[in-house]
Structure 1
């Protein structure tokens, strides 16, 4: 009877431990699920990352999402092993708000914000009093103002926090630009109805805009560039190391140069 109870106890404990670790990524597991939002970063996975993983013997499944919430939920739950769709700032906010144990693995080339116009052909041709639509959210609004500053159209208070600058921090407005904050998703449409529009790269590509048509492209800070993210516990697993190796390869950069023109490269690639 005692032997019987011991066997039952071992089986119960073993089953419980297996259940607890069911979604942990084994070091020698050669199957990988990667999530992305449909669009350029899903394409980047298909063209520049997944082929390299397959060459290394991995069986890769790409999961496409239609929003910015589910990819991190799926990663945190272990339903996928990595994702590519978000920048460092967004990921940090998700981790802070949800306490999900997710970490950036490596920064990848990212579509920059651009200043677009159907009225002016160059930055120099911009007329006094031109109207410019900019994103109405703080993060992208700050990015737009930084681009305008880089082009010499405005100056911002040097004491202002770079990531939080707003219209109130404009200390010089060379062309007396009139700022019109609107929803970021509406910015591509605004190009036809205003003088200038500061359009984030992901929205420009979603609207089939050519990044190289911009009068100016953002010199992005790395915190605004997209990252491959994984569960923190998996950051040293072999599949994560292999993703880093692939992204750092010459073959990856060749695909970026040929198929993702206009994408800004992170500091480590320069």
Structure 2
């Protein structure tokens, strides 16, 4: 009997320790006070540093900013828990990347975003565009669609109305009266391309990283919220306290003040209007 009682005691202790371990695991995320937030080098790393980090620190967090120079590693680092959140992408890109790479990512909140612009070192107005002008534009499908939509909005081209605006490509162009010559390039090359082509459609973050001014664009896109950048987290962390606190900070008056003073020209999402 003593052996049985002893065995039961050991089992109870083991179960207790297991339960405690389980409790610790379940509260680990909730108790997290050290955060690593990833962002691409340039305006969005600056936004985390100047507009988000101070608010989180006021809430008792220690925040480390991890900077990336591409659009691949920030999501991979998030997916393997090397970082807790990231800021660099819009929801369309995030959803496509997550699906292709079998990740479970979710958007927390939309933030003010630098719009894509059409830049030129040759023309001072879109009205000056001559027949056969060359236009460099992003070669990835999502940003290509954005660039073509700017041209549609400016009545420079027409596209098949039956095609999803988020998926339009060069093959969907039905009218091109100026005979614009499209030159697809990697987005990072587009700022430099303004010197070698007549026009260049440059996503806002790449323009700012290259020290280009948003106000120097011939035209800026009328950006829908779907294309504005989001703070992203792993889906398992959506309801974690740190995720709720990030949203609280972004929704604060202090955050908006920093945006208004240091991120001039960034288009605000609908929830901020």
Please report the TM-score for the alignment, with normalisation by the length of structure 2: 0.88
- Note if contact 1:33-1:60 (Cα within 8 Å) is conserved in structure 2: yes
In the TM superposition, residue 48 of structure 1 has moved relative to its aligned partner by 0.5
Match of 2:145 in 1: 142
Q: Could you say which residue in structure 2 is the equivalent of 1:30?
A: 33
Distance 1:113 1:21, change over 3 A: farther
The question of 1:265 aligning with 2:268 is answered yes
In the alignment, the residues of structure 2 paired with residue 178 and residue 228 of structure 1 have an alpha-carbon distance, to the nearest angstrom, of 36
1:120 is aligned to 2:93: no
* Residues 52-91 of structure 1: pairs in structure 2 closer than 5 A: 52-91=55-94
Contact 1:212/1:261 (CA < 8 Å) preserved in 2? no
Corresponding residue to 1:132 among 125, 131, 135: 135
Structure 2 CA distance, aligned partners of 1:54 and 1:269? 23
How far apart are 1:105 and its partner, in Å?
0.3
User: 1:196 matched to which residue of 2?
Assistant: 199
Task: Measure, in 2, the Cα distance between the counterparts of 1:72 and 1:25.
Answer: 22
Any gaps of 5 or more consecutive residues in structure 1? none
Task: Give me the whole-angstrom Cα distance separating, in 2, the residues matched to 1:79 and 1:183.
Answer: 27
Q: Does 1:185 align with 2:185?
A: no
Find the residue that maps to 2:166 and give its secondary structure. Answer: helix
Residue 212 of structure 1: aligned partner: 215
Q: Output the aligned Cα RMSD.
A: 2.5
Q: State whether residues 81 and 230 of structure 1, in contact with CA within 8 Å, keep that contact through their aligned partners in structure 2.
A: yes
1:253 aligns with 2:256: yes
- Aligned counterparts of 1:99 and 1:252: Cα–Cα separation in 2: 33
Give how far 1:6 is off. 4.4
Using a 3 Å threshold, how does the CA distance of structure 1 residues 71 and 16 change in structure 2: closer, same or farther? Answer: farther
Q: Secondary structure at the match of 1:176?
A: coil
> Contact 2:93–2:142 (CA<8 Å) still a contact in 1?
no
Displacement of 1:212 in angstroms is: 1.6
* Corresponding residue SS for 1:121: coil
* Structure 2 partner of 1:111: 114
Equivalent residues, number: 270
Flag structure 2 segments of 5+ consecutive residues without an equivalent: none
Shift of 1:245: 1.7
Taking structure 1 as the reference length, the TM-score comes to: 0.89
Is the 1:23–1:78 contact (alpha carbons within 8 Å) kept by the matching residues of 2?
no
- How much does 1:265 deviate? 1.7
Task: Tell me the residue number matched to 2:51.
Answer: 48
